[in-house]
Amino acid sequence: MLQHSNTFDIRFSQAQVDQFAALSGDSNPLHLDAEYAATTTFKRPIMHGILGAALFSKAMGMDFPGPGTVYLSQTLQFKRPMFVDTDYSVVLTVTAHDPIKHTATLSTEINDKATGKVCTSGEAMVMNLAVL
Amino acid sequence: MLQHSNTFDIRFSQAQVDQFAALSGDSNPLHLDAEYAATTTFKRPIMHGILGAALFSKAMGMDFPGPGTVYLSQTLQFKRPMFVDTDYSVVLTVTAHDPIKHTATLSTEINDKATGKVCTSGEAMVMNLAVL
């Protein structure tokens, strides 16, 4: 039986954002260059949206439902930017579960802990090999 | 005027997958543990789907349309697994463009170079701050 929802807190450093830029090749100055970011509507560097999305993969692969999870699909709406040195909550909630196919649909969300506002939202579909 | 499509080749190493696991916290043994992966339908470790998706962010942030790009949304269908030490093509194609809002919709795809089969597909929406 799947538990209904899973929540954890996260905070990234600029060093982690730099590491993700090197790994992905995405060195968009919006993520790395404070001087450039100051000229934009965001005023300071914003995190890569996909680095936030990696937290959904982490939650599903490690805990919910856990090891053996295979990602089938994910939708992502980047509603508000995420910043380094800022506390976020990651919330996953099972919205549908097929015990025959061993698949689940989850709503996936990253919220700013201070304001409660949604930064990234979307929906994931996963299958769990461990229970097949 | 936006160019119509952008393609580049990519290949990841297990070391890069390990680095992504450390950064995201997703140490699902399916990605890291050859012995465990051998017991699954995949037979060998598969890459994190989101690490593949990071290539779309890279393409849009660096080249197409380039620095100043802000990610609005992305859908991802993980159709086939990606493996390390394997050549993939990343293909982005503009499917719609709003010159007033400076937004674009792109189809995003990762294909296995040897087989031509689609591993990851989806659609991105971006806005370019550089032209605002």
- Beta bridge mates, A77: A121, B73
Domain boundaries, chain B: 5-131
Using CB atoms, pick whichever of B70, B71, B76 lies closest to residue A73. Answer: B76
**Phi and psi angles of residue A123, each rounded to the nearest 5 degrees, phi first:** -135, 135
What percentage of chain B reaches a pLDDT higher than 70?
Answer: 95
What does the block give as tokens for A45?
């560097």
Q: Give the pLDDT of residue A65.
A: 83
Q: Give the pLDDT of residue A95.
A: 94
Contacts of A25 in chain B (CB under 8 A): 55, 58, 62
pTM of the model: 0.93
Cβ separation B25–A58 shorter than 8 A: yes
Contacts of A47 in chain B (CB under 8 A): none
What does the block give as tokens for B35?
């012995």
Q: What is the pLDDT of residues B48-106, one digit of tens each?
A: 999 999 999 999 988 888 888 899 999 999 999 999 999 999 999 999 999 899 999 99
- DSSP secondary structure letter of residue A63: T
What is the Cα–Cα distance from B46 to A69, expressed in whole angstroms?
Answer: 12
Host H or E run for residue A55: helix A49-62
Please determine, looking at this structure, whether the domain spanning A5-131 carries the CATH number 3.20.20.30: no
- Among B6, B36, B51, B70, pick the best mutation site for testing chain A contact (most A Cβ within 10 A): B70
